[in-house]
Structure 1
Amino acid sequence: MSSPADDFQQYRHLSPFELKDQLIRLASGRAQRAMLDAGRGNPNFLATLPRQGFFQLGMFAAADSALTFSYMAEGVGGLPRREGIEARFEAFLVANKDVPGVAFLRRALSYVRDQMGLQADAFLLELTSGILGCDYPTPPRMLRYAEKVVRHYLLHEMAGGTMPESTTDLFALEGGTAAISYIFASLRENGLIRPGDKAAIGMPVFTPYVEIPELRDYQLQEVAINADPEAGWQYPPEELDKLLDPAVKIFLVVNPSNPPSVRMSDAGLAHIAEIVKKRPDLIIVTDDVYGTFADDFRSIYAICPHNTVLVYSFSKYFGSTGWRLGVVATHQNNVLDRALAALPEPEKQELDKRYASLTPDVRGLKFIDRLVADSRTVALNHTAGLSTPQQVQMVLFALFALMDGRDAYKTALKRLLHRRELALYRDLGVKAPEDEGSTHYYTLIDLANVVTQLYGRRFARWLMTKVDYQTILFRIAEETGVVLLPGDGFAVKRPSARASLANLNEYQYAAIGTALRRMAEEYYARYCAEKGIKAEAPLSVPH
């Protein structure tokens, strides 16, 4: 009977995230063995303090609501009142001063009042009403104070606090993937991308970003901007120069990259800035979800703000994938609004009809506000917007990071991820990659490079010609219980496997390294038997 690994061809065209389910099925097929799923990037760590603050804020909000109809015994509450809310909140903090999360709320209120200069009572009213979810998100794009706080955090992390905050608009939505979906849909609806246009994509990349432009909805021609693994996964100037082609309407990039997990270098950012000077019409969409894990990170948005749409998700850094928290940021003077103003008059008239229910001045409607409306098919714009409890949790996450002046949380996560990577490669028996600017959130295990280090180039050439490396991944899953994703599913050109370093513990990554080394030893024994040579000890051994 054939093994499922022998039937890999039927799965070749699956997205790596669909393929992962097949690998998990194989890896979990033996009851006596633990499965080690390093396939998906959902972290097994999370920020506890802002969650404790969230739940305590909820207790205050529920009690404050009950004050309005306290004469009723049936559990009916009313809308929170601004008058006296700061005093009531202070009384709650004093009464619960030893409860986890309460001291965090006290510090958070102090920060927005004393460091950001926001009105404490208005801020508290927004958070209290928001966590109760007792009203529609107003404004639909983002709650007023939520936008101020999250923008302060975002520009601190993505731009090092070098940009004036008042020039950036935010739209709160259901994570980074929703952001990309909405952006492409609005670009199409507003005639800013059309079938046949070229879309440049930084490669390797998160697989759906390759698939979206090819859909019948968009029918874009993809142009690969290939990072060079020999140059630390940076984009060479000749690759970036593909953006000079005026047929390239949009450049989509993940920075730091997924799966190489490396931030774009200062030289790369500077080169893009020079390209934008020559291509002021170029639209850049950058997904910076991993930016908080990289040292000295700067977003393309900080370098080319007028041409860049910034997408950020809270999911990875705060361990909140289930919360679905993300934002889109655009500069108030941006290429999208300029492109809308330059559309032919007949197209403007069609768009006047599309958005007529929103405003009498459709021509003055910014792209980011069209984005909000399009997310609810325009007609339902009045019910658009991320749920208010989600926005409150987003605010508390942002404040948690902003108040961490020593970056203790960030440093702890970086150390955690790096130790996991070192454990994997130590027990695999080869040196861990040392790419400058790495986040260590994922690692690309270069299979040819690994076996070359272990047993030399001749064996590596034999293995790559004799065995389909994706079949190796199926064998690894079936025989060792380890789930890795194939690199070519992320447009990686070299035989490789992506391992997330975020979702298992250190000893488990060591076990993955050991399992992979044993698999290499087995193939090496077959090679020696076929060639009639004596097996040698590995050239590279665990330290």
Structure 2
Amino acid sequence: MTTPSDYEKFRNLSPFELKDQLIALASGRGQRTMLDAGRGNPNFLATTPRQGFFQLGLFAAAESELSFSYMAEGVGGPPQRDGIEARFNAFVAANKDQPGVAFLRRALSYVRDQMGLSAEGFLLEMTAGILGCDYPIPPRMLKYSEKVVRQYLLREMAGGTMPNTSTDLFALEGGTAAISYIFASLKENGLIKPGDKAAIGMPVFTPYVEIPELREYQLQEVAINATPESGWQYPDTELDKLLDPDVKVFLVVNPSNPPSVKINDAGLARIAEIVKTKRPDLIIVTDDVYGTFADNFRSLYSMCPYNTVLVYSFSKYFGSTGWRLGVIATHAQNVLDKALADLPEADKQVLDKRYASLTPDVRSLKFIDRLVADSRTVALNHTAGLSTPQQVQMVLFSLFALMDGRDAYKTALKNLLHRRELALYRDLGVSAPDDDGSTHYYTLIDMAKVATQLYGTRFARWLMTRVDYKTILFRIAEETGVVLLPGIGFAVRRPSARASLANLNEYQYASIGAALRRMADEYYALYKREKETAAPE
């Protein structure tokens, strides 16, 4: 049996690095099944838009062959616009029974008849894009791709309340790349400097705590703490920390990771009021990757568009972590461009030199376009942009959701996650958390609360004094084969463990609950023995 002291060397690891150690322990006992609820990679995915992707690839390959059809060596060329819609319709008719073809037919109809876009222009961009035969042009995002993804994004994040023309998108390699690019460009453009304060909504995805502290930025972190007593909302006393003018940027994950709860209407309104009345200069960066799992979700971007940079990743909702698909959205008029215009003349001259290779009028270059250039260290801006096949898959994901008028896919995923959560807590023997606005993508297992519900407050107090909750997850992994991540690694201020509800099946979550209950029962038996031994004769 490994002792707690053996785990001391792992205390400072990120939860995602710690996970590998926990997996090694959980896998180390013979034929026992290891149950990894550590990482949030979903075990579900959207099949229809993927089927459409592969069928579109076959059509595109045939289109390519038209340019060099006289050659027998497998040489193709770029697709041709003339007649492409007729050829597509012929392809659909000839393959109507193949998976994904009906989806493509409906998708083209939606783009043409509901969005008012050119069917030929869209098809040409999609076929050339899936072939990957040209650089991404424009590098920020392909023309039709931006229009489609923007409509999806504003419907999901803003409830369709914002006009499409108000928002610019930058397609890139997922949400974490977006955060990295944003902070790098904020620094390069003098919008954050060493010693500035960065507020972070906590609990939070661990790397977001680590980024501002890096040597590149040297920012002072200000924790904006959500509390379990308020259903994991941010109390006004915490949000009022944003009134400090030294706080230059507020980074928040909404819904949170963990505990997977969206900011409620009161919290959104309070942040919007602070920005409107006291902090019109505040930069907000919101990562809303889990927003599509929440009922009636509204992003901070819809409340404070002028001040907010929206980050969205397709990874979780569509089960596409391996695709690395994400976007950054900024409003056409925004605080970042205003801050650039207000920089001291000396700083502007430095930036004039930095971006001189892009345009003779650097000072009119928007922040989002500087992001694109900075992603390729400016000099390689002409090779910037997300690969075109990735953008095509992003478009097909977006159209799949836009055309789902009954929200059938979304409802199925929500029910799937909720059933898994109920199974875990049922076999643990306690009630599942009932936080309003929860996505149920993760759950925070509050150790003291669970102990109290099982065996009372005295046992819970004993357990918290006798058990090192920072290393108990190692024992759980070693003895039960269950991998959970420590809540403290996500800036949770209570002894807790994060379980992903996305990457195992329902019966496996029931097994996790049962394994944790067995361990709790063992501790309770030890507690009773100690009490009996300590009792006077």
Q: TM bucket by the smaller chain?
A: over 0.9
Task: Give yes or no for contact 1:263–1:438 (8 Å, CA) kept in 2.
Answer: yes
Confirm or deny that 1:230 pairs with 2:229. yes
**What is aligned with 1:297?**
297
Task: Give yes or no for contact 1:129–1:135 (8 Å, CA) kept in 2.
Answer: yes
| Secondary structure at 2:155 match in 1 | helix
**What is aligned with 2:380?**
380
Deviation at 1:533, TM superposition (A): 7.2
Measure the CA separation in 2 of the matches of 1:459 and 1:301.
45
Task: Give yes or no for contact 1:137–1:386 (8 Å, CA) kept in 2.
Answer: yes
Q: Percent identity?
A: 84
Confirm or deny that 1:414 pairs with 2:417. no
**What is aligned with 1:179?**
178
**What is aligned with 1:426?**
426
Deviation at 1:4, TM superposition (A): 6.0
Given residue 206 of structure 1, which amino acid in structure 2 is its aligned partner?
Answer: F
Deviation at 1:32, TM superposition (A): 1.3
Given residue 516 of structure 2, which amino acid in structure 1 is its aligned partner?
Answer: L
Which segment is superposed worse, 459-468 or 10-19? 459-468
Deviation at 1:6, TM superposition (A): 4.0
**What is aligned with 1:539?**
none
Over residues 372-406 of structure 1, what are the superposed CA-to-partner deviations in whole Å (9 max), with x where a residue is unaligned? 00000000000000000000000000000000000
Alignment map for 1:55-454 (pairs within 5 Å): 55-277=54-276, 278-454=278-454
Given residue 306 of structure 2, which amino acid in structure 1 is its aligned partner?
Answer: H
Task: Give yes or no for contact 1:204–1:227 (8 Å, CA) kept in 2.
Answer: yes
Deviation at 1:469, TM superposition (A): 1.0
Q: Output the aligned Cα RMSD.
A: 1.0
Deviation at 1:81, TM superposition (A): 0.4
| Secondary structure at 1:406 match in 2 | coil
Measure the CA separation in 2 of the matches of 1:306 and 1:220.
23
**What is aligned with 1:538?**
none
Measure the CA separation in 1 of the matches of 2:307 and 2:511.
45
| Secondary structure at 2:318 match in 1 | coil
Measure the CA separation in 2 of the matches of 1:5 and 1:30.
18
Measure the CA separation in 2 of the matches of 1:25 and 1:224.
33
Measure the CA separation in 1 of the matches of 2:266 and 2:534.
48
Measure the CA separation in 2 of the matches of 1:172 and 1:522.
51
Measure the CA separation in 1 of the matches of 2:415 and 2:534.
42
| Secondary structure at 1:443 match in 2 | strand
Measure the CA separation in 1 of the matches of 2:495 and 2:15.
14
TM-score (norm 1): 0.98
- 5+ residue gaps, structure 2, are none
Confirm or deny that 1:42 pairs with 2:41. yes
Task: Give yes or no for contact 1:93–1:103 (8 Å, CA) kept in 2.
Answer: yes
Measure the CA separation in 1 of the matches of 2:247 and 2:83.
56
Over residues 322-358 of structure 1, what are the superposed CA-to-partner deviations in whole Å (9 max), with x where a residue is unaligned? 0000000000100000000000000000000000000
**What is aligned with 2:16?**
17
Over residues 93-116 of structure 1, what are the superposed CA-to-partner deviations in whole Å (9 max), with x where a residue is unaligned? 000000000000000000000000
Measure the CA separation in 2 of the matches of 1:67 and 1:221.
59
TM superposition outliers: structure 1 runs of 4+ over 3 Å: none
TM-score (norm 2): 0.99
Measure the CA separation in 1 of the matches of 2:5 and 2:91.
64
Deviation at 1:530, TM superposition (A): 1.0
Measure the CA separation in 1 of the matches of 2:432 and 2:5.
31
Over residues 258-291 of structure 1, what are the superposed CA-to-partner deviations in whole Å (9 max), with x where a residue is unaligned? 0110000000000001100111000000000000
Given residue 418 of structure 1, which amino acid in structure 2 is its aligned partner?
Answer: H
Measure the CA separation in 1 of the matches of 2:514 and 2:303.
43
Deviation at 1:147, TM superposition (A): 0.2
Task: Give yes or no for contact 1:451–1:460 (8 Å, CA) kept in 2.
Answer: yes
CA gap 1:534/1:522 in 2 versus in 1, 3 angstroms: farther
| Secondary structure at 1:321 match in 2 | coil
| Secondary structure at 1:68 match in 2 | coil
**What is aligned with 1:498?**
498
| Secondary structure at 2:522 match in 1 | helix
| Secondary structure at 1:322 match in 2 | coil
Over residues 312-331 of structure 1, what are the superposed CA-to-partner deviations in whole Å (9 max), with x where a residue is unaligned? 00000000000000000000
| Secondary structure at 2:322 match in 1 | helix
Task: Give yes or no for contact 1:528–1:534 (8 Å, CA) kept in 2.
Answer: no
Measure the CA separation in 2 of the matches of 1:361 and 1:276.
31
| Secondary structure at 2:316 match in 1 | coil
Measure the CA separation in 2 of the matches of 1:533 and 1:46.
54
Measure the CA separation in 2 of the matches of 1:528 and 1:7.
27
Measure the CA separation in 2 of the matches of 1:476 and 1:503.
19
Over residues 216-238 of structure 1, what are the superposed CA-to-partner deviations in whole Å (9 max), with x where a residue is unaligned? 00000000000011110000011
Measure the CA separation in 2 of the matches of 1:533 and 1:100.
69
Deviation at 1:470, TM superposition (A): 2.5
Over residues 32-88 of structure 1, what are the superposed CA-to-partner deviations in whole Å (9 max), with x where a residue is unaligned? 101000000000000000000000000000011011101000000011000000001
Measure the CA separation in 2 of the matches of 1:464 and 1:534.
19
Task: Give yes or no for contact 1:80–1:125 (8 Å, CA) kept in 2.
Answer: yes
| Secondary structure at 1:470 match in 2 | coil
| Secondary structure at 2:102 match in 1 | helix
| Secondary structure at 2:419 match in 1 | helix
